[in-house]
Structure formats: C-alpha cells, structure tokens
Structure 1
C-alpha cells in the first residue's frame, strides 16, 4: 500500500439509507474503532451510535453548529505563530465522542502506568547516578549530544524524589488492534485543558446520552493531581502557594492555561511576575512579595531559566533552577524532564525496562531504529525508501533526497533515526452534514501519586483526514473528540469543591500581580476609548442616514470637527466649508471604522481591547469573555451597514460594562480596570467640551444636543432640566454634576475613591502624589463658575473654561504616570506604551 493510498482513503462511511451508519465498509488499511464487520458495531459503541442515529441528520448538523459556537463563546482557540493575519484558530470539537470499554481501558492503563514508572526511573538515573550511562546501556550521545538533556539540572533531586510528575503520551491503534505509543511528553505536555473543554461541551450537548451511560468523570483526576502536589511539596500555607506559569497570551495554547488556572484555582502568572530572592521564589504582587511553593509549569525546559541556561527568553524566571536545587519550590514537571521527549529514546525502552524495573515492557512503542548502531544504521540504509528518516534528538525535519540523507547519516549517524509508516485506526466523524471517517490518535494524561501514577479516565482524541496532518504539530488543522471511558458500575458525581462540612481558617487575600493590574487598567482604557469613538461615529452616521444632505445638517460641522481634532478623520482644507463631498466624507468615515493601520479607527481600538483582555483571560468570567469574543465579529470592510455595525458594537461594549459592574468583586483587579475607564472617560469628556466649546454656539442648539448625545447624557438632560438646550445647564450636567455617571466630576470622585483603597506598604503621614493630583482636579471642577454662561457670553470666559479643561487633561496624564510609577513600576515596557509611527501613544 502506498503513502498516497493511506493519505487519501476512500470514504468508508457511505451515505445513509435508513441509518446514518448503514452499509459500512471497513477500511482495509486501518483498524475501525466503531465496527468489527460491516453493519456490526462493536458492543461498547452500540448505545452511542443508536442515540446519535435517533437524532437524525438534521439535528446532528444543528448540534455540531452549536458545539462550534459554544467553543467560540468559551474562547477555545489556538494562536498559531505563523499566521500572518494574527487570527486565532478555533478549537474544533467533533460531536461524536470516542468510547472505550472498561476492560480495554484498564488493560491500557496497566501498560501506561508501567511506562510512566520506567520514564521516571530513567530521569532519576540520567540526572542522578547515571548508571545506565556508566554500564554502557545508554549511549553517551543520547545524553551529551542531546539538547533535551540539561546538564545544569544534574544532581537536583525534586520533591519526594519524583522526576516525572505530569506525563502524557500519544497512542495509536494499529491494524492488529493493539495500541502502540507514538510519542512521550514530559517537558510540557499539552492538551489537558482542551480535554477538559471537550468534556464540558460534549456533556452539555449530549447530556441525555452522557447520563444514560456510565462514563467516568474527569474531576477525580484533577483532585488527585492537586492533592498530590500539595503533599509532595509539603506546602505550609493554608492558601497553598501554587501558581500556573505560562509564556503569556502569545502562547499557542494560552486558552488551556487560562482554563486550567480557573479550574484548579492556581493564579496564572508569567515569568516577569516571579522573582528569586535568597534562594526562594516570590510572586510580585501590588501589596508586596508572596512566596511561591509550587509551580505548574507550562514553559519549555530551555526557556525556564534564562540565567542558568543562557537563553534570551522572557518566558522563564532567572534563578529558578537554583531555587529548585535548594528544594524551595516544587516544579511540575521538574526542569529537564523533557529528556523523555527525545524521539529516539523509545528504541532503548525495552532494555531499560529490564534493567530498571526487572520487567518486560508491556506497551510497545512505534517501530523505530537508531542509526547510531551498526545494525540500526544498516537496516535504515537498506530500507530508506519505506522508512521515515527523522532527527533522533529533536522533532525536526530532515533533507528529502535519499543521497543527502545517506551523506548526513554517514557524517553523524547518532543524529538520525527511522520509523515505520504509521497506520492509525479510523473513527467516525461528523463531516459537513454526514458521517465520514478520519484517522485518530489518542492522547492520555497521568500524574504522580505516592503510590505510583494515576491516569485520567479519558483524554484527547485527535483526528484528521490524512496521516500527515494527524502526526504533524499543527493542531489548528486537526479536529478533536471527547474520550468516554465506560464504567462497569455506577459512577459517583464528583466536584472539585471541598466538603461543605469542612471548616478551616480563611482570609480574603489578593493575588493580583503588577503585570495583571497594568493590563486591567489598559483594558478599561481601551473599552472606554472604543465606546466613546463608537458613540461619536454613531451620531454622525445617524444624521447622514436621514433625508437631509450634509450641507443642511447644522450640527454636522461641529461633529466632524470633533473627529478631526481627535485625528480620527483628516483635517479639512483651510479654504473649504468643513463638509467634504458626500462620497469623500463616507470614505473618511469608513476609514475611521475599518482602517486597521489607523491608530484611532474602531477596528484598531477593538483589536487593542481583545489583546488586553487576552492578557487577563483568567480574570474574566465566562460571560465577560463571551462578550469579548463577540467583538471579533466587527467587519474589516465597509460592506456592512455602519449604523448596524456600530449599534452592535456599542451593545457589546455596554454588555461588558454591565457584567463588570455586577459580577466582578470589588477587589484590586476591578479597581484598576475602573481606574482605566474613569481616566479615559475623564480625558475624553474634558477634550470633548474643550474642543466643542468655541463652536457649540455657532450651530444653534443642535450642537448642544449633539454634545449631549455623544456624552450619552441627552435623556438625563431632558428629564432633569425640562427646557430647551442651553449652554449653562449642559455644561453643568457634563462637568459638575457628580450624580451623572458621564460627568467629569463623577469620574474624578470615583478616581479619588479608588486611590484611597489602593495598597500601601506602610502608613504615610502625607498623601501620595496621585492622591494629591486627583484631589486637585476634583476641587478644580467643583469650583468652576458657570454663572451667566450663555452662548452670548464673552469669549474670555469661555477661553478661561477651556484653559481649565486643558489643565485638567494635563493633570490626568500626570495622574496616569504616577499610578504606573507607584504600582506598576515592576512591569517592563508593555505594548500599550510602544511608539507607533505618527503618534506618541496609541
């Protein structure tokens, strides 16, 4: 059978006649998971297939669409590095699960537990006595020519002597029905969070089928993981100083990090949030340093400690290896455990198993040969055309021409290995409205316990239409399935919540790192900036959509001038009336909405909202993240109705504001986000009145109405003053009325309240600079004199008010700098402060 036949299989699942699964033809080149013979489903598949068949084709198609939407609402994505559009790739979950019989899973677990024990022993020997190396059973090249071996970690003995505390493996079922291990993962196993997401979604949409079958829950595995981490690290504090270390939002699987952080209750941190002091590790929080006793690490081995490993990386923590050497932190997995990821290591496992465990290896690896031995090299050379030759030490590709491969192997035989073609099993999938079949791999997960290893009763099934895609490291091109492990007895409901009867000491503590506070502050600013810009453009488009021509709308020059002064649309020529031709005006306004390379466009600001939100993903509720995801629907072209687009955008922004007000606890995170909102709204309101004041009376009362509309205060004005639009009451409402949540005074009073509640290292005799600034501007706005402020008032009085507003804007910028310097000084320069061509700030 050729590779082309394998990668382009004929569909073994023909169109249904009566049943969706009728007249099945078994694939000759692969094991069929669901059927043992045509039209004969395997016993453990029958209840599932029957339930799916009962739903029918139309309902299953609708169900698959709902699954896709639910995953999107949860923010389940991949972030591919090489995507030039920087668009996240949605997580693809197939509605058809992959069931396993209880007895078969138990047998599989037995082999996996033995393999995990063996790999743990190999790590202990490699980073300890190195007896395998000394007696010649482990080739020297496997250690000293292997980038996965970190000599800086030699001699470190982790907590409780566990060198492998979190393990994953990719398995496939061969044509003979037997499972084999394709890959082992030790440094940074991925997929656990996505397996959890699959279970959450599939159990929701297939709840009747799920509850009618005895399916093992996943929660006990997470309980076991957490309990053994606490016991192994011998944590001293009641709140358990455990953090989940992530490379950050640019990580391929940042969604998984945020989900696991929320589910396990571990604060999600990045390398810059941690620091080493006197041999111990600390989390940099707003109110000081807090000791970290355990790390659930999701950074690569080589990036974990830039100081010891001499790497230019911001993912890790300088000094982390030394802290580990002094046994002051438990790291899951210990740095250096990526040694078991070495592709050629499975070739030696049978011998290692006999030497270390005195047992035969139960679960075989995928057939492979190492070119570092004469026998292996001769076999590879003789079968070059039928084997896949790869790097022995890394998962990198090799030259494609046989002559190049032979020359390279002859020059460095230890660096190459070869594997047989992979023939994985096939599973039914729902594909474009019908049942199809794809190749599948099974990823399983285990954690160390005091009695050995515990495997999660389930996992992550990965599927693809061809083997090349299936075995590649391109998850955005694959699909997934939930794995259902059936039980032969009733399954008890399990929750991660502690017993309600348990009473213990507790305290309300804040675990807000300075970096997170910085991103929350800017999230608030970007949200408010987006809302203000959207309201302004809405006011313009509403007027242009009426029956009047632009030249007949008296307040239009006022609104367009606001856009020009904020550098949202181009300046008007000096010899023009201020209103360009209709087509030219629409082009300028469309650019203000959709132009992605324009710093002040709606599309760009919404992009900044999404980026800031990604940095604090674990701090946002599922409902809040659902709203953030809806902002992705903002179109990138002018083909949609602008009024409809802006209305939807404003609705989503308002929904997020409502959720933040009603669902976020009034902790430091909420305060910093609200400081950002109040700061941006105050700056926007002050500039709005200052820019509009010289022109507001030239266009009669309509400009005053437009100013109130842009400020979202027109209904308040009509209800309160019950009079025609006049300058003094409009300014009173927008500037001095502290009961109006859109007024300048309201923003200043809120900022003053927030500053009083920010953490202090010690009691101070005097106010801080930010407290003095906000008190000064609050007093200034309270003392404004609007007596006799009419459109006929002398320009000198209006100029004096404009000068006061300009002074407030300057003080607000100084206030923002003081807050950053005082509370966020531990944060390196962030993207929010980067210089963009043509602007000093975004």
Structure 2
C-alpha cells in the first residue's frame, strides 16, 4: 500500500478478527469501496479532519439535536455524523429491498390478523401468549377496519450484516419509527460540506421516496378528500427525536401539533386554531400507542387526544401508523416469522433473522437454559426500555437469578443467538478505525405495494469494541449510500410539486398551542432583553460612581436603582429584605449576581432566559437556520458566563454587551422567519405587552417618588439609559433633563416606537387583527381592555399627573395611572389566553383500567 494509505489505515488492523465492510478476509480493499477510498486519500487526512469539524459545526449551527435523557451535558445534544459513509452496491440492495418489501407485507398481514380474524392464533401458528402478553397489543383496537390499501403504512427495519455476509433483520419498528429526518439531514450536510467525496460514485437519492411519503399522507385521508388537513403529532420538545418532528413538519409543510391542539367533537378530530376548530383528516404521529387516547388507553396521558379511537372506528381520521401497531415490535414473533411467511405468502423469508427461542415453550426454554451463556436475553416487550442482557458477562449468581426470573414469567422472555455484526470504517483522529454498525431503512405503503428508501440511517457504536449501537448510548451516525453504475439525479430539497396545497395560509388556521407559544416567546424574549439592559445600566452607574468610594448623591441614586432591580424583576424580597438590606447595600453585587444567575429564582434573568429557550425549542419548526445559529451563540455565551468562578462589574457588563446584541439579532430574524398570518402577530402581541408592562414597572420604581433636583436628574438619566433613549432625548429636546420632557417622550410620544403610547397603539392594532368569534362581531374582551388602556394614556393631563402629594412626597395620580394600566395589561393577557389558547380542560377516563397486561 502507498504511504498515504498506510497512514490513514494505521489503526485499522489492530485486533481485526470479525467481518468488515471495507476489507476482505485477506485484508485487501473490497472493490465496492475502492473509489470511495481513492476519494478519501485524494482529499487527505488533514483536510478530512477539517471537513469533519465543519460537519460538526454545521449540524450544531443548524440545531440538529438528539435528546438524551439525563445527559449531564444537557437535553439537546448535538447530532453526530461521521464523515465516512456506509455503502452498499445496488445489485445487493435490490435483494435487500425485495426482502424488506416482503417483510413489510408480512407485518401488514400480521397486524390485520391480530386485530381481525386472528387466524394465526386459531391455527396455532403463533402461541396466544406471544401476542396477549405483549403490552403493545391494545384490546381497544380490536376489529377496527381501515380503508387504506395497507394497514401498516410505515415500517422501519434495522439491518446488520451477519456472519454469512448477508444483511440480517435485527429489529422492526412500526408504531412511530424515527430516523427519516435525520437520514435526510445527513445527506444534505454531507453534500454541502464535502461534495468531492461523491466524485465518480453514483449515489441513489431519496427524493422519489419522500415524494411517495407525502403522497401516502394525502392518500390516507378518509373518503379520498381532495384537500386533506394533515398534521404531525409530537409529544413535545423533550422527546428524544423532537428535532426530527419539527424537521419533517417543515420539510413536508404540515402543522406540528401537540395533543392539546386537537379535540374530538361529533365523531371527528379537530385542530384548535385561533378562530375555532378545523377538521383533521390525517395524523402523522410520533406519540407511542398507549398515550394516544387517555379515554380508552392510558388515562394519565397528556400527549394524546381523548376519544381519538372512536373517531378511528368511525373512519373519520387516518392515523399513520395505526394505533396498536406497536405489537409488531415484538422479538417474540421472530421464532415464528418463517412459519407465518409460509402461511400467508407461501414462500420463505428472503432476509435472514437472528436465531431466536421464545421461552414460553418448554423445549425451547430448556435449550436456552442449557446454553445460557451463549445467548442474549431480552423481554418480548421493551416498551419501558428494559435492558438487553448479555449472558456471557453474568456471574453464576446472576445467571441463576436470570433463570429464576424466566421461570417466574417465561412468556415474557426471548433468547437470541449472539452474533458479531460487521464493522465499517469510522474517521477518528485523522485515522480510520472499525466500528460496529446498524443500518435503518424505511418502507412505506404505495398503493398495494411498498416503497423502500434507498439507503437510510446508519448508527455506529461509540467505541471500538462496543456491542451496543445506540444513539442513547453515545453512538454516532453515518450517511447510508446505495451506489450503482448509472448517473443519479442530485438530491432535491423539495422534489415534488403539490397539486393539493395544505399549508397554513391564515392567522385563523394557526394551531392554538403554536399561537400560545408564539405569544409567550414574544413575552419571554422582551423580558430577557429588558432585564439585561436594565441591570447593565445599573452596573454602568456603579462604575461611573467609582464603586465603593462615592459621594452621597450618587450613593442615594444607586440605592434607588438597587431597589428598582428588585421591583422590576419581582425578585422579592431582594434589596427590600429588612434583615439583610443594610448588608446588601454595602455589597450589592452579590444580590445582583443572584438576580442574574439563579435559575430557580422567579423573575431572575436566568429564569427569563430559560423560559425564552424553552419557547424557542417548542417552536423550532418555525424558525430559520440563521435564528438557530444566533440562539446557539446565546446559549454558549450564557454557559461560559455561568462557569465563571468570580464575577466583577466588568465581567458581567461584558457578558450583557455580548448577549444583548445577539438577542436583538434574534428578534430581528424572527420577523424574517415567519409571516404575520402564520403566527408572527401573536409574537408581536406578546412582545409589545411585555415591553409596555416593564416600561410601567420602570416608571413606578423610579419617578413616582419625588426627589430633589440633583438626584432626580441622575434618576432620569438612568431611566433614559435603560430605555436606550438618552441620545433620542438629547436630539429631540436639546435641553437639561426634565421630568416633564421625559414623560412626554417615554409615555406620551405617539411616534416614538419605545414610548408607552406607541406600544399600546400597536397592541390595539395587532389585537384587532386576531379572529373575532363574538356575537355580532363585538370587540373581544382583550381588545376592550387594551382600548381602555389606550384611552387612559391619551387623556393624560401632564401637569396634573405629575403633581406631588405634599404629605407622602409621592405623585399619587401617576402611581394610580400606572396601577390601572398594569391591571389592564394583566387582564388583557389573561383574556387573550382564555379566548385563544385555553387548554385547561383535560378529558379523563371515568373508570381507571389496568393497562399493563
């Protein structure tokens, strides 16, 4: 071999003993991989390392994540894609594809039979315990009839190359299989970052498959409806594959909804929109079976829709895949699949399976016990993520306990032969190293046949000798290439022209849950920004006053500003704590740091940022990639800041300077990402309402109480600075700071975008654009409230409002005005929630049922 080749292969032959995709048994390069290897060597290991870093960066920048539960590095872990693809020749793939289609058809027939005639049970092809002992079998789904040509509409199959050199079936995934979106993003990322790796290699693209997938959803609609309403149902942003839910929603152009966006009325499923209810025809679900209907299945589920199964029975909605299809994800079926295939199709299985023994049969159980250390043991039902047991690693005591567990409930266990699947090259530290791989591809119903994705998603073990191949266990992924001899079309981002548009076209059609999150996203981002700006202003005043060595007027001003931080953020008792007040004023930075970084403290900057982040993730299907990049930079700046051991005025101010500019950039990009009629209006309303509310809080904290002239000047300057209005004031008035002019600018100016009057005017205009379902078109309660607020500010007599009560030294009329306005903003927010996104009524079962079998 050449020097370059020797260099990149330096670590590849270490401990090499099992079947490898790249090498023959004589340790020569297989012809299938030769062109790819030539391309890799031409690029060079150093450049490959740079491109790998670029892929990592791109995936992180694009917000491609895979949620790992209890991950110390946080919930949204970046998705990992290794630069070396997995390849399979078209000729071999044709046989694999044929075997997948056969298996999809077989599983389709099993699903129909299990919930229909049950011939397999009646004729002894499958023992009843294999089905009835599996939690995936849902009695509530019995005898449901479906009008689609196939009952099983999507089938994901995990494949690995076995010791005989053929691709083996490892797992079937049928209830809500994941991976399509990740596979597509892998291909887009690889094509963008390292297009030269494809040179002289004809890779089949999945464009036609996704066209078929979209058509499947449209065709699934009951009654051959011309323009069906299709939605993507997600459990929410904490689900491990939430990125993919949002990705497919955006890619296919269908609304992403949660269970409380949907409701059953009059035997149909409806989506709650801002205007009212809109009928749903097809639900592409990413929620597991048992959680889909709290009325008939799990009564504790908040993820599904009460009464959904009855609508399915009435054939008024199509669920992709049907509820109850999780019973097929059952390794207890594997020992019987050959006989099932002969029974239904009169043929042998094309794709081999792992040799398996169901322990519910005495002869098979005895065979398992006699050779236990040679097997991998698992429960037939892994819906609660039970562990796979590798018996060779168990002690005698543990083996004895396992036998005891199996004997206590033999129907629940299956033993499988331990086989060593193939390895494929992974690029690590500028070298190639072998890693065990598991391939997932997808089959979807297309008329009375099945269409298989050319390629798919490859998962890679985290370490060289790791047996587990799992993203939850730290694995990475690969792009999966099916390569042929003829030129292939380029991958199309959108490969079809829909003849039946299904896009959200009106503010009326925005799902209520999306609308609510947009509203609160606006509020949280405004609160985060204004809190940051205000605290930064106080820190700047502390610096200007030569902190800890100040003359009395500056100190008095600072004391007022310290107290105002508590008032504006509502982090009471804060500087108002009678027992600690004196100590806090001597060392205010300690309290200010707490207000900034304490995530458990209600009203803190940290909690506002956390709420903003949460709303962003919930709405990620709406935001652009540029927004994700800005958001990611916000997250990194925040994490770096929190990791600091000591905080100073300078370090905190520098942090706020960085994060404020990025929040402002994020807000600007928001307006570019979605249209007003797609929900941006709700974001604006939340933003304006929060800005107006915090403007009032600043005024109440700083100018309601009367102060002497010098102190008032400093306070007014602080107020204008926090409002980013000091230069505007100077340019507009060209005079000494006066309370009257500050009030005119910040409260009453109808043309200044940061004045309270302007903000209320905007609120009134935007709220008036919301759907109005009141009788006779009367103004909604939220509109009435904001019009009252507008009337109050429009009728202000500035001389009267600024009068100081001699007894209290307080501007009582001004304080009363702010109190009324604050109350009106609060009831406006409440009435918006009650009118447009009230999800408080949850349907429950009248009688609790045992669903655990």
What TM-score, normalized by structure 1, do the two folds share? 0.91
Shift of 1:150: 1.4
Q: Distance between the aligned counterparts of 1:528 and 1:338, measured in 2?
A: 44
The 1:438–1:706 alpha-carbon spacing in structure 2 relative to 1, beyond 3 Å, is same
1:75 aligns with 2:63: yes
The C-alpha deviation readout for 1:306-330, integer Å capped at 9, x for no partner, is: 2112431111111221111121111
Counterpart in 2 of 1:517?
515
Counterpart in 2 of 1:552?
550
Shift of 1:563: 0.7
Counterpart in 2 of 1:410?
407
Task: Tell me if structure 2 keeps the 8 A contact 1:297–1:332.
Answer: yes
1:595 aligns with 2:595: no
Task: Tell me if structure 2 keeps the 8 A contact 1:437–1:465.
Answer: no
**Structure 1: segments with no counterpart, 5+ residues:** 1-12, 830-842
The C-alpha deviation readout for 1:136-179, integer Å capped at 9, x for no partner, is: 11111112222221122121122324121101111111233221
- Aligned pairs for 1:734-749 (under 5 A) are 734-749=746-761
Q: Distance between the aligned counterparts of 2:45 and 2:309, measured in 1?
A: 55
The C-alpha deviation readout for 1:360-419, integer Å capped at 9, x for no partner, is: 111011121112223311210110122122223436248862222223333332222111
1:811 to 824, 844, 848: 824
SS in 2 for 1:618: coil
Shift of 1:436: 2.4
- Aligned pairs for 1:721-740 (under 5 A) are 721-740=733-752
Task: Tell me if structure 2 keeps the 8 A contact 1:523–1:612.
Answer: yes
Counterpart in 2 of 1:7?
none
1:477 to 466, 474, 477: 474
Counterpart in 1 of 2:219?
231
Q: More deviation in 791-800 or 125-134?
A: 791-800
Task: Tell me if structure 2 keeps the 8 A contact 1:736–1:781.
Answer: yes
1:780 aligns with 2:792: yes
The 1:51–1:601 alpha-carbon spacing in structure 2 relative to 1, beyond 3 Å, is farther
Task: Tell me if structure 2 keeps the 8 A contact 1:22–1:39.
Answer: no
The 1:744–1:235 alpha-carbon spacing in structure 2 relative to 1, beyond 3 Å, is farther
Task: Tell me if structure 1 keeps the 8 A contact 2:12–2:433.
Answer: no
The 1:28–1:437 alpha-carbon spacing in structure 2 relative to 1, beyond 3 Å, is closer
SS in 2 for 1:755: helix
1:650 aligns with 2:653: no
Task: Tell me if structure 2 keeps the 8 A contact 1:514–1:827.
Answer: no
Counterpart in 2 of 1:761?
773
1:291 to 279, 283, 301: 279
The 1:215–1:828 alpha-carbon spacing in structure 2 relative to 1, beyond 3 Å, is farther
Aligned CA RMSD, in angstroms, stands at 3.0
Counterpart in 1 of 2:720?
708
Q: More deviation in 75-84 or 265-274?
A: 75-84
SS in 1 for 2:176: coil
Shift of 1:17: 7.3
- Aligned pairs for 1:3-42 (under 5 A) are 19-21=7-9, 24-25=12-13, 28-36=16-24, 40-42=28-30
Q: More deviation in 308-317 or 260-269?
A: 308-317
Counterpart in 2 of 1:571?
575
Shift of 1:74: 2.1
Q: Distance between the aligned counterparts of 1:145 and 1:160, measured in 2?
A: 28
SS in 2 for 1:228: helix
Q: Distance between the aligned counterparts of 2:348 and 2:496, measured in 1?
A: 43
The 1:577–1:827 alpha-carbon spacing in structure 2 relative to 1, beyond 3 Å, is closer
Counterpart in 2 of 1:562?
564
- Aligned pairs for 1:577-616 (under 5 A) are 580=584, 584-616=587-619
1:256 aligns with 2:244: yes
Q: Distance between the aligned counterparts of 1:498 and 1:46, measured in 2?
A: 31
Counterpart in 2 of 1:50?
38
1:665 to 665, 675, 684: 675
The 1:48–1:417 alpha-carbon spacing in structure 2 relative to 1, beyond 3 Å, is same
Shift of 1:729: 1.5
The 1:610–1:38 alpha-carbon spacing in structure 2 relative to 1, beyond 3 Å, is farther
Shift of 1:83: 4.0
Counterpart in 2 of 1:9?
none
The 1:189–1:261 alpha-carbon spacing in structure 2 relative to 1, beyond 3 Å, is same
Q: More deviation in 717-726 or 697-706?
A: 697-706
The C-alpha deviation readout for 1:65-112, integer Å capped at 9, x for no partner, is: 222222222222223333477532221111222122221222211111
Counterpart in 1 of 2:811?
798
2:533 to 516, 532, 535: 535
Task: Tell me if structure 1 keeps the 8 A contact 2:424–2:435.
Answer: yes
Shift of 1:576: 9.9
The 1:286–1:14 alpha-carbon spacing in structure 2 relative to 1, beyond 3 Å, is farther
SS in 2 for 1:170: strand
The C-alpha deviation readout for 1:765-813, integer Å capped at 9, x for no partner, is: 5322222211111121122222499899978783322221122111111
1:680 to 679, 690, 699: 690
The 1:619–1:513 alpha-carbon spacing in structure 2 relative to 1, beyond 3 Å, is same
Counterpart in 2 of 1:324?
312
The 1:757–1:814 alpha-carbon spacing in structure 2 relative to 1, beyond 3 Å, is same
Q: Distance between the aligned counterparts of 2:388 and 2:203, measured in 1?
A: 43
Shift of 1:690: 1.5
The C-alpha deviation readout for 1:684-742, integer Å capped at 9, x for no partner, is: 00110121002665525232221111111122212222223222211111101122221
Q: Distance between the aligned counterparts of 1:319 and 1:760, measured in 2?
A: 28
Q: Distance between the aligned counterparts of 1:429 and 1:546, measured in 2?
A: 57
What TM-score, normalized by structure 2, do the two folds share? 0.89
- Aligned pairs for 1:58-73 (under 5 A) are 58-73=46-61
Shift of 1:491: 1.6
Shift of 1:334: 0.7
- Aligned pairs for 1:354-373 (under 5 A) are 354-373=342-361
- Aligned pairs for 1:616-627 (under 5 A) are 616-627=619-630
Shift of 1:180: 0.8
Task: Tell me if structure 2 keeps the 8 A contact 1:31–1:176.
Answer: no
SS in 1 for 2:202: coil
The C-alpha deviation readout for 1:2-25, integer Å capped at 9, x for no partner, is: xxxxxxxxxxx9997764236842
Task: Tell me if structure 2 keeps the 8 A contact 1:598–1:604.
Answer: yes
Counterpart in 2 of 1:437?
434
Counterpart in 1 of 2:234?
246
The 1:34–1:535 alpha-carbon spacing in structure 2 relative to 1, beyond 3 Å, is same
The 1:772–1:468 alpha-carbon spacing in structure 2 relative to 1, beyond 3 Å, is farther
The C-alpha deviation readout for 1:444-502, integer Å capped at 9, x for no partner, is: 11101114111111211101145996536652511111112223212224646477797
Q: More deviation in 531-540 or 95-104?
A: 95-104
Q: Distance between the aligned counterparts of 2:232 and 2:840, measured in 1?
A: 19
- Aligned pairs for 1:106-505 (under 5 A) are 106-210=94-198, 212-233=200-221, 238-394=226-382, 396-397=386-387, 401-466=398-463, 471=468, 475=472, 477-493=474-490, 495=492, 497=494
Q: Distance between the aligned counterparts of 1:373 and 1:503, measured in 2?
A: 53
Task: Tell me if structure 2 keeps the 8 A contact 1:273–1:513.
Answer: yes
The 1:547–1:31 alpha-carbon spacing in structure 2 relative to 1, beyond 3 Å, is farther
Task: Tell me if structure 2 keeps the 8 A contact 1:90–1:476.
Answer: no
**Structure 2: segments with no counterpart, 5+ residues:** 843-853
SS in 2 for 1:322: helix
Q: Distance between the aligned counterparts of 2:771 and 2:800, measured in 1?
A: 44
SS in 1 for 2:523: helix
